[in-house]
């Protein structure tokens, strides 16, 4: 079997075109969705991510602001900026790029963002709503994965999904979204014994471990669906956590890196920001 490749990049382009039309309609009614992204420090990868977020939001016609602050920014300064943005009606979504410098207490920052502007879906209110099956802002990468599965017509109900990785950004929320859609979910992580034993049983494997080449054809069963969330640089080249060439020969569906899950993350951020603007104006 040779797997069908699910290109998130193409789906992202399609969805962003639809969003552009929606933003045009909203603007005709005096509503311009606004996203503010905050970056602390000069990490090149983070800078490239936030520039991508800003560019994408401008392209769909949203108001987009990137606030770049020095590494030395204090906890109090950042909290004061968030408070200002919480009270600014033009700002519908606030995103603080993670990771933050060591001297900043990340959880306090996440909790300072008003839940109605939490387009990352990281605030405990958003997390709690997700866990109790309510509508909320879903974290962008997990949400992007769900949309990719849906568009590829892969029904997750009753399927055994093995998630590798248990981060608050990806592993935990994607497992919860899948559970909410009636999948049977197993979480594996760095302390899991006999990873292969688990992954071999999976109908769908979601790999978010941050380890290049972790998953090979030996890890999966015939016709499994394999979603690669890894972002690794090997010899200057972007690569996922999955050995694409070998797994492609055995899986039924596979996502590539690049052009796979990555572009969907930004797309769902735009989606969440538009949703925040519509909610604020009582349109949903």
Active site residues: 53, 97, 120
Please, which residues have CB within 8 angstroms of residue 217's CB and are 6 or more apart in sequence?
243, 246, 247, 249, 250
Q: Is 98 in the site for ligand GUN (CB under 6 A)?
A: yes
Beta strands 63-69; 93-96: pairing state: unpaired
Q: Is 225 in the site for ligand GUN (CB under 6 A)?
A: no
Q: Is 199 in the site for ligand GUN (CB under 6 A)?
A: no
Binding mask of the shown chain, residues 101 to 120, with x at each position contacting ligand GUN by CB under 6 A: -------------------x
- DSSP symbol at 100: P
ω into residue 262 within 30 of 0, thus cis?
no
Least Å from the CB of residue 126 to ligand GUN:
12
By beta-carbon proximity to ligand GUN, the closer residue of 199 and 265 is 265
Least Å from the CB of residue 198 to ligand GUN:
25
Backbone angles phi, psi at 281, to 5 degrees: -95, 15
Report the chain's terminal Cα–Cα distance, integer Å.
44
- DSSP symbol at 185: E
Location of structure tokens 């999904």: 161
For 16, 97, 126, the CA distances from 11, given in Å and listed in that order, are 9, 24, 26
Sheet holding 225-228, edge to edge: 4-5, 253-254, 225-228, 204-207, 160-164, 184-188
CB-side neighbour CA atoms (13 Å) of 61: 17
By beta-carbon proximity to ligand GUN, the closer residue of 141 and 199 is 141
- Kindly tell me which residue out of 64, 97, 199, 239 binds ligand GUN, with binding defined by CB under 6 A: 97
Q: Is 39 in the site for ligand GUN (CB under 6 A)?
A: no
Least Å from the CB of residue 100 to ligand GUN:
9
By beta-carbon proximity to ligand GUN, the closer residue of 136 and 141 is 141
Binding mask of the shown chain, residues 243 to 272, with x at each position contacting ligand GUN by CB under 6 A: ----------------------x-------
Least Å from the CB of residue 270 to ligand GUN:
12
Q: Is 126 in the site for ligand GUN (CB under 6 A)?
A: no
Least Å from the CB of residue 99 to ligand GUN:
7
Q: Is 96 in the site for ligand GUN (CB under 6 A)?
A: yes
For residues 93 and 117, the answer to whether their CB atoms sit within 8 Å is yes
Task: Write out the residues near ligand GUN by the rule CB under 6 A.
Answer: 95-98, 120, 140-141, 169, 265
């Amino acid at each position: 079997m040779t797997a069908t490749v699910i290109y998130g990049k193409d789906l992202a382009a399609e969805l962003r075109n639809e969003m552009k039309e929606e933003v045009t309609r909203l603007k005709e009614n005096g509503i311009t969705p606004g996203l503010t992204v905050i970056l602390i420090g000069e990490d090149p990868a983070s800078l490239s991510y936030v520039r991508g977020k800003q560019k994408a939001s401008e392209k769909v016609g949203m108001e987009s602001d990137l606030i770049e602050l020095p590494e030395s920014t204090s906890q109090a300064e950042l909290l004061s900026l968030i408070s200002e943005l919480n009270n600014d009606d033009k700002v519908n979504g606030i995103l603080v790029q993670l990771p933050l410098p060591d001297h900043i207490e990340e959880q306090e920052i996440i909790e300072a963002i008003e839940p109605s502007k939490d387009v990352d879906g990281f605030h405990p209110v958003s997390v709690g709503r997700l866990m109790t099956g309510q509508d909320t802002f879903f974290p962008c990468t997990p949400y992007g994965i769900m949309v990719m599965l849906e568009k590829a017509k892969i029904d997750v109900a009753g399927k055994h999904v093995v998630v590798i990785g248990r981060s608050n950004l990806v592993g935990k929320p994607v497992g919860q979204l899948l559970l909410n859609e009636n999948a049977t979910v197993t979480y594996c992580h760095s302390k899991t014994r006999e990873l292969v034993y688990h992954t071999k049983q999976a109908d769908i494997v979601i790999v978010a471990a941050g380890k290049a080449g972790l998953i090979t054809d030996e890890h999966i069963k015939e016709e499994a669906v394999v979603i690669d969330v890894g972002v690794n640089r090997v010899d200057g080249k972007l690569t996922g956590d999955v050995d694409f060439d070998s797994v492609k020969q055995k899986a039924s569906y596979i996502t590539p890196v690049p052009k796979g899950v990555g572009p969907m993350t930004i797309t769902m951020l735009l989606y969440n920001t538009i949703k925040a603007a519509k909610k604020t104006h009582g349109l949903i």
